[in-house]
Chains A and B, each alone.
Chain A
Amino acid sequence: MTYTASMRVWRGDDEGGELVDYEVEVNEGEVVLDIVHRLQATQAGDLAVRWNCKAGKCGSCSAEINGKPRLMCLTRMNTFGEDEVVTITPLRAFPVIRDLVTDVSFNYEKAREVPSFTPPVGLEPGDYRMTQVDVSRSQEFRKCIECFLCQNTCHAIRDHEENKKEFAGPRFLMRVAELDMHPLDTLDRKELAQDELGLGYCNITKCCTEVCPEHIKITDNALIPLKERVADVKYDPIRWLGSKIRKRDGL
């Protein structure tokens, strides 16, 4: 079934921009990214958009559709009414380059602030041995496709540019949690999470979880467990006393 949809797309660059209205054909089974491509092909040849797989796996096509941060390639047009205006804007937490394309380098900078996997000294790659139960918890976090929708939606940076310095954002605190739970990682990352990466900025309001296209339970399974781990070492006098009496490392 084919119909003509009303779309509004943000056009502009870092100097300014505006929402521009388009009327465009929509066919059965199409997703928002298809419509953006049709716009490019028929009436806005210079419309900038970033995409790659069209299968929800590369994390390139993140945008905001009717105000909700989503992947354009996973948002079906039939979730909107035929007479509904569908608005597409670039991610709002990052600097815009052009139209729907933003500069997400903030995320790569933050990624570099997380010390990489640190196996025990002397243990060579190839000699790593671990049981499935010990890794299955953090495997959930490996589903991440680096779309940065969570980073874009987290109000701690979305509404407060000034916090970008202090706060690594949900995606990278999840990375810290992943490594802290890793059976072969030897670094203690709890102080780092709280003191360097700004875990305290997260007020567990779960927007990262709400927008994650991989349905990773970021808040429940990574951020809150990480907060609990931090509380173990920093805010738990009883444990602190216990650790003075006998070493509890390597549990």
Chain B
Amino acid sequence: MATLPDASRTAGRATISQRTLRTDKWWLQPLITVIVLVSFVIYSTWRAFSNANYFYEPLISPFYSPCLATSCVEGSTNFTPFGGWWILSPALIILIIPLGFRMTCYYYRKAYYRSFWQSPPACAVSEPHKKYTGETREPLILQNFHRYFFYLGLLLNIVLTYDAIIAFRNHDGEWFHMSVGTVVLLANATLLWMYSLSCHSCRHALGGRLKHFSKHPVRYKFWTVVSRLNTRHPMFAWLSLFGVALADFYVMLVAQGTIQNLYFF
């Protein structure tokens, strides 16, 4: 077990050699985070590379939407700026956005710095690293670009909302039908919106950057609402992550014929 780094021992601090004197299960939270995130990464990598079973009229998996290459299965897209030269799975194009968005998210940063990088693993438990520069330099200083991913993420939310709306059709393309798939895609889009709206960059852009709320009553209102959502950002971060995986999983099961997409009407 690591002990305190040398510099910290010699600075006249109390000589206590244990890494921590905490008696609770401080390691549990980071452990759960690692297990959940690793499972998600394995699942999504497998699905992103599989390049199959992501579309069944009118349902499209969020991992493959929008589908931007001509190799996308028929009916899943009519916008293919990447044309025919893109030979890898089309999911890999669009997944850059949610990946960048979540990697730079203030909440996920906390989660993976603590669990994967152990910096720190828990409060008042010393970290195993000799040196620490935090986000002062490359590459971690790039976390400051979170806001760009936030804006791109909004565009993606619009597309996924559109996907949920066109899921109000049946397999033959007729409107005003609703299936379990419709509910799944709607839930996914809703959770993604909640995740984006509760984002710290969103809170900042809507009003946080102002000095005088009194001069901007409307933005102040927005800021107040988003601030309230913001306190639940970690919850939305997890729920929307599960939501995306579940939506993809459902579409996969339907597309490969394991289950029927049950229609309510």
How many chain A residues sit at the interface, stated as a range, is 35 or more
Partner of B147, one of A19, A93, A181, A231: A231
Pairs A–B under 8 Å by Cβ, sample size 29: A14-B12, A66-B24, A67-B20, A67-B124, A89-B14, A102-B14, A131-B213, A133-B213, A133-B214, A134-B211, A155-B127, A159-B127, A161-B8, A161-B10, A161-B11, A200-B137, A200-B141, A201-B135, A204-B109, A205-B110, A206-B110, A225-B200, A225-B208, A228-B200, A229-B208, A231-B145, A231-B147, A232-B209, A251-B211
The answer to whether A69 touches B11, judged by C-beta atoms less than 8 angstroms apart, is no
Number of interface residues of B (CB under 8 A): 57
Quick check: is B258 within 8 A (CB to CB) of the other chain?
Answer: no
Which chain A positions have C-beta within 8 A of B10?
Answer: 161
Which chain A positions have C-beta within 8 A of B145?
Answer: 231, 235
Distance, CA A183 to CA B211, complexed state (A): 6
The answer to whether B134 touches A202, judged by C-beta atoms less than 8 angstroms apart, is yes
Q: Which of B131-157 contact A (CB under 8 A)?
A: 131-137, 140-141, 144-147
Listed in ascending order, the chain B residues whose CB lies under 8 Å from chain A are 4-5, 7-8, 10-16, 20-24, 106, 109-110, 113-114, 119-120, 123-127, 129, 131-137, 140-141, 144-147, 200-201, 203-204, 208-214, 216, 220, 230-231
Distance, CA A225 to CA B223, complexed state (A): 12
B151 → A minimal CB distance (Å):
10
B64 → A minimal CB distance (Å):
30
Quick check: is A64 within 8 A (CB to CB) of the other chain?
Answer: yes
The answer to whether B147 touches A155, judged by C-beta atoms less than 8 angstroms apart, is no
- Which 10 A-B residue pairings sit nearest by Cβ, starting from the closest? A95-B12, A67-B22, A67-B21, A200-B136, A207-B123, A228-B204, A235-B144, A155-B120, A201-B134, A161-B7
Distance, CA A203 to CA B127, complexed state (A): 13
The answer to whether A200 touches B135, judged by C-beta atoms less than 8 angstroms apart, is yes
